[in-house]
Amino acid sequence: MVRTAVLVSGGGTNLQALIDKAARGEMPSVELALVVSNSAGAFALERAKRAGIRAEYLEKAGFEERLEALLREEGIGLIVLAGFLRILSEDFTRRWAGRIINIHPSLIPSFCGAGFYGLRVHAAALERGVKVTGATVHFVNEIPDGGEIIAQRAVEVLPGDTPETLQRRVMEQAEWIILPQAAEKVAEMLERS
């Protein structure tokens, strides 16, 4: 099993999907060992604690240094960004190359990159009038949302959608499915390498 850290900033529904899959034995290569938030009030921290996973909040000053220390202390081999809304430095992503994955709520290369996060992504998709959107899991490199794509899943945009209704459908029909699958796939690859 690969000891895995999940980085979060908000509600943590993607973290919950990972916790639920792990509990059902559907991610045999992933051991959820640590949850780190850059936001003190993130409900994701509560979800982690309820699941018995170490949960830490790290403030902005010295964030990456402290994160690095925690990752080493916990023997982490894989980092999953699950609604983590801070951009990691080039140095950090280089050190962890091939070991960090992110879920993004659109079909990359549409509606991605700096400034596209959370509801803004879905507002932009509705504004452009696309009929299909979705979610993407990709490796993280120094370019925001620019790393190699691991998995994607398409979701229909329906008449009358708001950013909120579309966000929910993309989560239910794409994110909560492909993030655990991709985490397991990458962890399995890491185990074998």
Q: Detail the residues annotated as belonging to a binding site for (6R)-10-formyltetrahydrofolate.
A: 85-88, 102
Per-residue 3-state assignment (H helix, E strand, C coil) for the chain: CEEEEEEECCCCHHHHHHHHHHHCCCCCCEEEEEEEECCCCCHHHHHHHHCCCEEEECCCCCHHHHHHHHHHHCCCCEEEECCCCCCCCHHHHHHCCCCEEEEECCCCCCCCCCCCCCHHHHHHHHHHCCCEEEEEEEECCCCCCCCCEEEEEEEECCCCCCHHHHHHHHHHHHHHHHHHHHHHHHHHHHHHC
**Least Å distance between CB 51 and ligand GAR?**
14
**Least Å distance between CB 153 and ligand GAR?**
12
Cβ nearer to ligand GAR, comparing 110 with 191: 110
CA pair distance 115, 36, nearest whole angstrom: 22
**Least Å distance between CB 113 and ligand GAR?**
9
Cβ nearer to ligand GAR, comparing 104 with 185: 104
**Least Å distance between CB 43 and ligand GAR?**
8
CB 150 within 8 A of CB 101: yes
Cβ nearer to ligand GAR, comparing 175 with 184: 175
Q: What angle do CA 130, 141, 30 make, to 5 degrees?
A: 90
> Does residue 138 have an active-site annotation?
no
CB 81 within 8 A of CB 103: yes
Which residue sits closest to ligand GAR, CB atoms considered? 83
Cβ nearer to ligand GAR, comparing 33 with 81: 81
Site residues, ligand GAR (CB under 6 A): 8, 10-14, 44, 82-83, 103-105, 117-118, 121, 171, 175
Catalytic member of 47, 104, 122, 169: 104
Binding-site annotation: residue ranges = 12-14, 85-88, 102
Could you list the active site residues? 104
